[in-house]
Every structure is written in structure tokens, then in C-alpha cells.
Amino acid sequence: MKTTIEDFIKRHSLTKRDASPEHHWIPAMLIPPDHDDTFEVYANDDGTHAVSINTTRNKFKIVHGDLLYLESDWKDARNSYETDARPFWKENH
């Protein structure tokens, strides 16, 4: 199965959030390394799933947390990524 970052955002019902550093504190893990780049943040209401999209360089980063936060490296947002994210209980045997 191929998936895009837009598919991921829809699947997890993430909403675009006001992430203007001028008005809000933003966790450093969501800010692009080059602080001059523009970015958008999509997240759920609990803040347990977030995606930061560096719109200047067309890259994204996923942050997921509950007990612990896990974050991805910056990935190219123009690609579709192969995923084998299928629940083990749906496997055909």
C-alpha cells in the first residue's frame, strides 16, 4: 500500500493548527532546522499525533506521543511511501 502525508493527515483526522512562532510557543521538534523556512502543523486535539510540514522545502516530520514522544526524521513530502501497516489480526494465513 502506498500512502502520502496528506493521506496520513486525513487517516488520523488531524487539523491544521495555528503554529505561528510569533504568537505561540512551538515545540522545537516541530520547527524546521532552518528557522527561516515556513511550516504548517497538523495535530489532533489531544496533541498526541502531529505532523509538521516544511512548506519551503516540501518536507514533513511526524511526531507521535502518549507515554513517550517518537519523532521521525524530515522526509520528502512529494513521495508516496510504502507501508505495511496492517493489523496483525487481519493477516491472511
pLDDT of residue 35: 87
Q: Does the residue 80 lie in any domain?
A: no
Give the model's pLDDT for residue 66: 84
pLDDT of residue 85: 64
In a domain, 88, yes or no: no
Phi, psi of 7 (to 5 degrees): -60, -45
Indicate whether 62 belongs to any domain: yes
Residue 64 lies in a domain: yes
Predicted TM-score (pTM) of this structure: 0.80
Residue 34 lies in a domain: yes
| C-alpha pair distances (Å), 64 with each of 13, 36, 43 | 14, 25, 10
Residue 90 confidence (pLDDT)? 60
pLDDT tens for the chain, residues 1 to 93: 788 999 999 999 999 998 888 888 888 899 999 989 999 999 999 889 999 999 999 999 999 988 888 899 999 999 888 766 666 566 565
